[in-house]
Structure 1
Amino acid sequence: MKTRRRPYSEQRPTDLGGGVWSVPVPIPGNPLGYTLVYAIESPGGPVLVDAGWNHPDAWLALRDGLDSAGIGVREVRGVVVTHFHPDHAGLAGQVREESGAWIAMHEADAALVRLMNELQDREHRSFQADMLRRAGADASEVEEVTAQRPRPPAPPDRELHDGDLVDLPGRELRVVWTPGHTPGHVCLHLRDADRLFTGDHVLPGITPHVGVYPYDRDDVDPLGDFMASLEKVAELGELETLPAHEWTFPGSADRAMEIHAHHEEKLLALASLLAREHEPLTIWEVAGRMTWNRPWAELSPTMRGMAAGEAAAHLRALEVRGVVRRTAGPDRVRFALRP
């Protein structure tokens, strides 16, 4: 079944057939509008793929949506979180409190969740502020970006690894580790139905955010990981795709390679941008010269922070390929095209 993106007000829980339901859960104040939470039925009880944002309205939508599918929240066996972001992991803890369900996520994201829960708000703000200043953000932008912090998600009970089978009696739901959007992002291959739950890895109309945090790390390559993960998904063949946002669609492999090509084009454009510059640029300056869905001047400080993370990921990928070099100063990192 294929559905199209509609405003949240027009969304309804949907029986996708084969013992799978989609439940739209709102994301208050976010242009994405909602997360599609999936419920997979099994003889041992239903398992959710993601849970939605931690907000009272979102909780009511999840609870009532499951009810309309004939699934009580207290029946839920477990929640598989595709990645730790709050619009996916936020309500997993409340589901666990209601039902005793387990929460599972990849070990790499589980480690980040533990760290987030250990950090005090003051430590988190200090970390963010230092990262933004080193990237070239001004004081007012640093202040606004660090003003708010989403509540950390609940730590998982179980850690997943590439190739694991999820605890879903009578069905075969296999973990496909797809790092990039987060270090521990996973897709889930429901092999008994030729379906792929893609979280934020493969979306039908937009591309997920891929950033480096802190911006100036030189020991990771999330964009390179993301593009390799897209190839990995394409190798699974064309599967019915059930993403966490927008709409379900056929053809996971084709869409994965479209996204791959998009980032190759973006890397070429960034290399051309740097070739026109006479001096090395800070990450913030690079982000300000790149093309986004709105002009840089119209982006909020928070969106500029995300854009800087994505610029950093593309710079790092070019650095790994030997196309650009970095210069570390006392308080800034700058990038230039290699001669």
Structure 2
Amino acid sequence: MRVTDHGGGVWSIPVPIPDNPLGHTLVHLLDTGRGPVLIDTGWDDPDSYAVLERGLAEAGTSAAEIHGVIITHHHPDHHGLSGAVREASGAWIAMHPADADVVRRTREVGPGTWIRYVIERLEEDGAPDEHVAPLRAVRDSGRSRRASGARAALPDREISPGELVDLAGRRLRAVWTPGHTPGHVCLHLEEEVGGDPRGRLFSGDHLLPEITPHVGLYEDPEDGTVTDPLGDYLDSLERIARLNPAQVLPAHQYAFEDAGRRVRELLDHHAARLADLLRLITEAPRTPWQLAEAMEWNRPWDQIPYRSRNIAVSETSAHLRRLVKAGLAEAAPGTSPVAYRAV
């Protein structure tokens, strides 16, 4: 893919994600009265940074000229290169406080904390011993790697939901859209697009044209708060539907129109997932792992790679928690690991 000029001082630059089926992150460049601003930066990798630099040059600027960086969410394919851009330019970095807290915690906790947390989660979800064994071996060896994002840059500005970001000559309003992460934000560029006053939306990972964003449990080894990420995500989708932008500029795939249609598709998708889960636990109590094995994915369970199974179980757990919060499911007494049944 090449740099795309979306008009009105907005470009998208595809920055590669190494060894990832998504391929790239669309980093958006926005002209402002104080200089160019980036929305997301891409994966922290020398080759990715070189591609970003070439894309900026094609758009008529450079990393050294970047005035500010706005991060839709903390994931490394979005926030990874923020530190490199700030080092090159002195740019400020802005992020929602909830995701800034994730960055801070990830930098502070040791690698052993993360591996223990992942093992505990999988054991609680009913993962079989053969799946957990490799992680236990890493833990016992003392050679645990640091969590992804352990070197991520700390932001120096907060994004305040509902307020305009401080950009000269632009009306860019932050819209808090938790679900994919606790502090995910979309950014509404309030201006006419081809005579349409509804503006454009930089949607990060919240709203993508063909992909259903991952919604799993928010991970924090040191916080036992019972969150409801899927409930957050569904509420956030409806918020974007009410906003009804003329065009959506996502962080993956391509720009598209008719945000309302895409929101309806995603709401229907998650409603079907919830109904399927409810059917399964009506038949018999099941652990999150057993439910993930029984659900439909984009390939048979025995063909899903190891790490992707962990993601699938986290997503299953988030849907299960939504059913529990809605009073439709509960833990079956006397089960260990805990199995869930319909109420």
Q: TM-score, normalised by structure 1?
A: 0.92
**Equivalent residue of 2:254, what SS?**
coil
Residue 309 of structure 2: aligned partner: 304
1:265 correspondence with 2:269: no
Counterpart residue type for residue 166 of structure 1: V
Change in Cα spacing, 1:58 to 1:69, as seen in structure 2 (3 Å) is same
In the alignment, the residues of structure 1 paired with residue 227 and residue 333 of structure 2 have an alpha-carbon distance, to the nearest angstrom, of 17
Q: Give the whole-Å Cα distance in 1 for the aligned partners of 2:325 and 2:37.
A: 39
Structure 2 counterpart of 1:284: 289
Secondary structure of the structure 2 residue equivalent to 1:322: coil
The 1:218–1:167 alpha-carbon spacing in structure 2 relative to 1, beyond 3 Å, is: closer
Structure 1 residue 289 displacement after superposition: 0.7
- Work out the CA distance in 1 between the residues paired with 2:87 and 2:176: 27
SS in 2 for 1:32: coil
Is 2:123 the partner of 1:133? Answer: yes
SS of the residue corresponding to residue 333 of structure 1 reads coil
Q: What's the CA shift for 1:239? A: 2.2
- The equivalences for 1:19-58 within 5 A come to 19-58=9-48
> 2:175 is matched with which residue?
176
Q: Equivalents in 2 of 1:166, 1:267: separation in Å?
A: 36
CA distance in 1, matches of 2:134, 2:305: 9
Shift of 1:81: 0.6
1:275 aligns with 2:274: no
Aligned in 2, Cα 1:328/1:21: closer, same or farther, shift over 3 Å?
farther
The verdict on how the C-alpha distance between 1:68 and 1:144 changes in structure 2, with shifts beyond 3 A counting, is farther
Correspondence for 1:151: 149
Separation in 2, partners of 1:231, 1:208: 15
Q: Percent identity?
A: 48
Q: Secondary structure at the match of 2:57?
A: helix
More divergent stretch after superposition (288-297 vs 209-218): 209-218
Shift of 1:217: 6.5
Does the Cα contact within 8 Å between 1:81 and 1:105 map onto a contact in 2?
A: yes
Partner residue, 2:195: none
Per-residue displacement from partner, 1:211-243 (whole Å, max 9, x unpaired)?
114599672111011000000000012420000
Q: 1:240 aligns with which of 233, 240, 247?
A: 247
| Separation of aligned partners in 1, 2:310 and 2:162 | 34
Q: Match for 2:200: what amino acid?
A: R
Q: Is the 8 A contact 2:246 2:258 kept in 1?
A: yes
- The equivalent residue for 1:211 is 216
Structure 2 residues not aligned, in runs of 5+: 139-143, 193-198
| Residues 102, 156 of structure 1: 8 Å contact kept | yes
Give distance in 2, aligned partners of 1:105 and 1:218: 22
Q: How does 1:50-199 map to 2 (within 5 A)?
A: 50-144=40-134, 149-152=147-150, 153-193=152-192, 194-199=199-204
- Mean alpha-carbon deviation: is it higher for 201-210 or for 122-131? 122-131
- For structure 1, list consecutive stretches of 5 or more residues without a partner in the other structure: 1-10
Q: Against the structure 1 CA distance between its residues 312 and 172, is the aligned structure 2 distance closer, same or farther, given a 3 Å change threshold?
A: same
Residue type of the alignment partner of 2:215: V
Q: CA deviation at 1:275?
A: 1.6
Alignment RMSD: 1.9
Which has the higher mean CA deviation after the structures are superposed, 22-31 or 207-216? 207-216
TM-score (norm 2): 0.91
Q: Specify the code of the residue in structure 2 equivalent to 1:290.
A: M
Are residues 188 and 325 of structure 1, via their aligned partners in 2, closer, same or farther at CA, if it must alter by over 3 Å?
A: same
How has the CA–CA distance of structure 1 residues 144 and 79 changed in structure 2, closer, same or farther, with 3 Å as cutoff?
farther
Residues 213 and 309, structure 1, Cα contact 8 Å, conserved in 2: no
Match of 1:4 in 2: none
How far apart, CA to CA, are the structure 1 residues paired with 2:165 and 2:218?
Answer: 29
Cα displacement string for residues 32-59 of structure 1 (whole angstroms, at most 9, x for unaligned residues): 0000000000120011110001111111
Shift in alpha-carbon separation, 1:330–1:276, aligned structure 2, 3 A: closer
C-alpha separation in 1, matches of 2:38 and 2:219: 31
Residue 237 (structure 2) pairs with residue 230 (structure 1): yes
